[in-house]
């Protein structure tokens, strides 16, 4: 019998299609992992091709090297084809206006690229912990800078891995976008979390963590600071959330001592995906609050990972509900027990 499950935090309903259910191992990609070279002369992100984008917002470099030159470990640069225009551009104002009966505003925002590694053929799953720590540190540094800019209301950090996830470059990279609005679906998530807090006086995410620690069957990994589990109402097969064990509202409040444990659990989860499912395409996003809500007690920042191993079809588009053809308990067990060699 199919089962409908509700996500306690987002209130989204998901159909767990048990009659169509596949075993966890059936999602392993059939094609072989493509081995890329460490350097691609045509790649704009590779070390040695800095002339394509000499401007560095952040550069973690070897001592004695300069921005725009070789010798870097990680770079944050402006997106050459930004979705939004920086607030410092002339004649740009952050205000709404009318176009007939419709509402519009200038496309104010910031769009940056985090080139995660100098090597073309690495991904987070195959990096060491120190390399992933640099990525987390760059995320946090840029988040703080953009979060405090009064022009911006929301900072979104995300990663597209593979063509099905929207990645246009093989070279390991993430993106950071600051927007002048908070989109409706994100506001709705905040609203539901706030409503839960108003009713029960507790953070819904903290309650979910407590429940997962008690039931144990959807947990994949846990360390001294973070937990990774598959939601009870996972939207897609292998959807995974990584959350701080202690209540922290905003990603801005990530402490220095938290960076290494976060890097470790993120790398380990993605390594399990990489080796157990043969490097599936995925998206991940850091879910955090706008600056003006950073001290509110009802939210809890987290990383949402969505593997792209199934296709969204007409029912999902028409109903707004997802159909998950796996049981989160089974896929979590599969990943939990898989050992990366």
Count of domains for the chain: 1
Q: Considering the entire predicted model, what is its pTM?
A: 0.94
Q: How sure is the predictor about 197, in pLDDT bands with cuts at 50, 70 and 90?
A: very high
Task: State residue 26's pLDDT score.
Answer: 78
Dist CA 75 CA 55 (whole Å): 10
Residue 322: strand pairing partners:
14
pLDDT tens-digit series, residues 277-319? 999 999 999 999 998 888 889 999 999 999 999 888 898 889 8
Q: How sure is the predictor about 199, in pLDDT bands with cuts at 50, 70 and 90?
A: very high
Q: Yes or no: say if 112 and 88 are a contact pair by the CB < 8 Å rule.
A: no
Q: How sure is the predictor about 21, in pLDDT bands with cuts at 50, 70 and 90?
A: low
Dist CA 230 CA 218 (whole Å): 5
Structural domain that includes position 204? 3-337
pLDDT tens-digit series, residues 65-117? 988 889 999 999 999 888 888 866 555 567 888 889 999 888 889 999 999 99
Residue 39: strand pairing partners:
none
Task: State residue 215's pLDDT score.
Answer: 97
Overall size of the chain counted in residues: 341
- Among the listed residues 111, 140, 173, 291, the single catalytic one is 173
- 187: tokens are 């506001």
Give me the CATH number covering residue 30: 3.30.428.10
Residue 173 is among the residues annotated as catalytic for this protein: yes
Rg value, the chain, Cα:
20
């Amino acid at each position: 019998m199919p089962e409908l499950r509700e996500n306690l935090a987002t209130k989204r309903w998901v159909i767990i299609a048990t009659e169509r259910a596949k075993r966890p191992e059936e999602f392993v990609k059939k094609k072989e992992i493509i081995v890329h070279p460490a350097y691609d002369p045509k790649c704009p992100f590779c070390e040695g091709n800095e002339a394509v984008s000499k401007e560095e917002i952040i550069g973690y470099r070897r001592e004695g090297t300069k921005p725009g030159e070789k010798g870097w470990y990680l770079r944050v640069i402006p997106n050459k084809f930004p979705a939004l225009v920086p607030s410092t551009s002339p004649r740009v104002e952050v205000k709404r206006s009318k176009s007939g009966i419709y509402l519009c505003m200038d496309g104010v925002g910031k769009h940056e690229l985090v080139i995660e590694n100098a090597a073309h053929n690495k991904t987070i799953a195959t990096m060491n912990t120190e390399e992933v720590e640099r990525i987390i540190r760059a995320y946090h540094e840029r988040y703080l800078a953009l979060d405090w800019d009064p022009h911006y209301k929301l900072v979104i950090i995300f990663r597209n891995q593979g063509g099905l996830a929207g990645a246009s470059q093989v070279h390991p990279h993430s993106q950071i976008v600051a927007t002048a609005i908070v989109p409706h679906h994100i506001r709705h998530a905040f609203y539901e979390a706030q409503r839960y807090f108003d009713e029960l006086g507790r953070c819904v995410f903290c309650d979910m963590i407590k429940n997962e620690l008690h039931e144990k069957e959807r947990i994949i990994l846990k360390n001294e600071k973070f937990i990774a589990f598959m939601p009870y109402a996972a939207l897609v097969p292998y959807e995974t959330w990584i959350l701080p064990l202690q209540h922290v509202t905003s990603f801005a409040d990530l402490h220095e001592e938290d960076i290494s444990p976060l890097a470790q659990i993120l790398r380990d989860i993605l390594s399990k995906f990489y080796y157990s499912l043969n490097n599936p395409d995925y998206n991940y996003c850091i879910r955090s609050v706008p600056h003006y809500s950073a001290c509110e007690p009802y939210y809890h920042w987290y990383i949402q990972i969505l593997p792209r191993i199934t296709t969204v079809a007409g029912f999902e588009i028409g109903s707004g509900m997802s159909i998950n053809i796996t049981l989160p308990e089974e896929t979590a067990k599969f990943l939990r027990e898989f050992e990366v060699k």
